[in-house]
Amino acid sequence: MQTNEVWVYIEQNNGKIAEVSLELLGKATVLAEKLQGNVSAVLPGSNVKSLTKTLFTYGADKVYLVDQHILKDYTTLPYAKVVVDLIKTYQPQIVLYGATTTGRDLAPRIASELRVGLTADCTNLQIGDYTFKEKDYQDILYQIRPAFGGNIIATIVSPEHRPQMATVREGVMKMNPPDASREGEVIEYQAEIPTELLITEIVKKFQQEKTVNLKGANIIVSGGVGVGSKENFKLIHALAHVLGGEVGGSRAAVDAGFIGKEHQVGQTGTTVRPKLYMAIGISGQIQHMAGMNQASRIVAINSDPHAPIFQIAHYGIVGDLHEVVPKFIEVFKSLKK
Amino acid sequence: MAYNMVVLVKQVPDTQNITGQAMKEDGTVNRAALPAIFNPEDLNALEEALRIKEQSGGKITVITMGPPSAAEVLRESLYRGADDVILLSDRKFAGADTLATSYALCLAIKKLAAYDLVLCGRQAIDGDTAQVGPQTAEKLGINQITFVDRILELKDRSITAERSIEGGYEIVKAQLPILLTITDEANIPRPPAAKKVLAYKYAVTPAEINNYDEEYLRANEIEASNVIIKLWDHEEIGAAEAHCGLAGSPTKVKQIESVVLEAGEFKQIENSKAGFETLIKELMHEHIIG
């Protein structure tokens, strides 16, 4: 029997839960309310039982816990088997995954095996009705995502198949405020994982804590391809430093090698909502603008007065950034005294 | 040992370089005006296959699914060194989502004699879903390594590759047959080889040779031997209609909206110390900076 459960696949690495998974519990709470269902977390791993408390704190009503030594490291086939078995057994309405390198490896594999729909990189999820070929479907998951390089927003539905599944990038959904008094039910599940699925060996894993925190930054100073070179990008770093902000970059600047990928702002990088966003030498590709237009204040500096970025900026300065940025720093320093 | 390799490629609209000409007056994109290109990361996948072939020998079959015009990416593949190219084209395939696409690709791959490696780009720039690779692997019943930045070793039936993960990488070892999705970090794809361009410039599908007029065929000396691009429809690969195209796609597009970002209240700041002073004071006053 199909339930009204909204599931969130919980990604954890050595016992640390990925932020996106907690964010998805927040969204799942909203969706479950609409469906009058509950929020369930799916937690595969080894030695992860202690994490269930956190999942309740952030909105889970139920946790499907699959705690097996064999699941210590994520590899595709055993994890896909676990989630597929759980879905077949407990029949959720919706399953959400973080659009991480793990979620994007796992979710399509599961969708293919179950022959259900999957929408990648949703930026919004809603519940609504849908009519197709004179048939009415109620309480369908609207899976809303950008496509065509961010130039269109498509609403995708999967009316006839269950579960409805989607991946969502980190930083797009908001976590519930933590409530340590919340409690829930833990369902321990023992998965049968045949040895023929244990065929990927993790030889080495290297992972650094994020050194760049664009998502939480109040001020972001971003440079585009118009900055001209990695050397010139020092100006962007300098301005970010005096303002106490993070350094960002457009995809073009990242592709050109001016700045590392972890600094990339936009739909294909990090979606940001700072108080101040300074876009310097960024012409304004839609996929970039859609990832920063929620900033409270946008200052654009560009030598081209017709650059699209000015259309969404609150303040525009037309000029050569090599001249503008040092002058701006000088004025800021003098006013700060 | 030599490897039988299949490379999956896609022709996509060039969404990364949208110029003024492709913009309609209302600020939306005229998709028809975008040039069709070889999906960038599929070129990285092809390059990886070519390098394996150069090192170990083998055969490269390139498959694409698309409208008749997608034959162009197969010619592009021939220019770079593909041995065999196949176009999956059929009205029945139209409107396929990633599930229906992987169904057709899987059947086409299974029709080939044997394969050791299936390579494709991490994702295509029109949809950015990165789903067709893993879904094809699942349908073939083989293992996968996604987000491959580097193949470190390919020895007999064993492969070691570096895949990118959040904030780092992992090195994984697995056995063939396997499907790899390749990122743009992996390599710099080679340009077409001039000799091969001359040899394959008029490589055509059976449908193309029938559609060209006699004069064009004569002028370019196109004859039966130019029919190098195989054209497979749903019957050829034994696909059930109900699983192809729109009919076989669980996902439906409910609605499409063009993104027109709203302009906020805009203030032009004079490019002068006085102008900056006004701006900075305003931002300080609002406690945005300071």
Query: Exposed, middle or buried: residue B16 (CB in 10 Å: 0-12, 13-18, 19+)?
Result: middle
DSSP state of A71: G
pLDDT tens per residue across span B228-247: 999 999 999 999 999 999 99
pLDDT tens per residue across span A32-82: 999 999 999 999 999 999 999 999 999 999 999 999 999 999 999 999 999
Q: pLDDT tier at B28 (50, 70, 90 boundaries)? A: low
Closest chain A CA to residue B181: A105
Is residue B20's pLDDT more than 80? Answer: no
Omega before residue B177 within 30° of 0, cis: yes
* Fold agreement between A6-197 and A219-336: yes
Which CATH number does A6-197 carry? 3.40.50.620
pLDDT tens per residue across span A139-185: 999 999 988 777 788 999 999 999 999 999 888 899 999 999 999 99
User: How far apart are the C-alpha atoms of B65 and B134, rounded to whole Å?
Assistant: 17
Shortest distance, CA B79 to any CA of chain A (angstroms): 26
Is residue B33's pLDDT more than 80? Answer: no
pLDDT tens per residue across span A319-328: 999 999 999 9
Task: Please tell me the predicted confidence (pLDDT) of residue B18.
Answer: 63
- Structure-block tokens of residue B278: 């006004």
Domain residues of chain A, as ranges?
Answer: 6-197, 219-336
pLDDT tens per residue across span A218-238: 999 999 999 999 999 999 999
Q: Does A241 touch chain B (CB under 8 A)?
A: no
The SS3 assignment for B246 reads helix
Q: Does B194 touch chain A (CB under 8 A)?
A: no
Say whether B165 and A336 touch across the interface (CB within 8 A): no
Q: Where is A329: in which H helix or E strand?
A: helix A321-336
Q: Which of residues 272-291 of A touch B (CB under 8 A)?
A: 275-276, 285-286, 289-290
Selecting from B131, B172, B280 the residue whose C-beta is nearest the C-beta of A200 gives B172
CATH superfamily of B3-248: HUPs (3.40.50.620)
For the residues B110-122, what does the mean pLDDT come to? 96
Domain residues of chain B, as ranges?
Answer: 3-248
The amino acid occupying position A125 is L
Q: Please give the full DSSP string across B120-183, using - where no structure is assigned.
A: EES--TTT----HHHHHHHHHT-EEEEEEEEEEEEETTEEEEEEEETTEEEEEEEESSEEEEE-
Strand A152-157 vs strand B252-258: parallel, antiparallel, or unpaired?
A: antiparallel
Q: Does B289 touch chain A (CB under 8 A)?
A: yes
DSSP state of B23: B
Say whether B165 and A142 touch across the interface (CB within 8 A): no
Q: Could you say which of 2.60.40.1170, 3.40.50.300, 3.40.50.1220, 3.40.1190.10 is the CATH number of the domain covering A219-336?
A: 3.40.50.1220
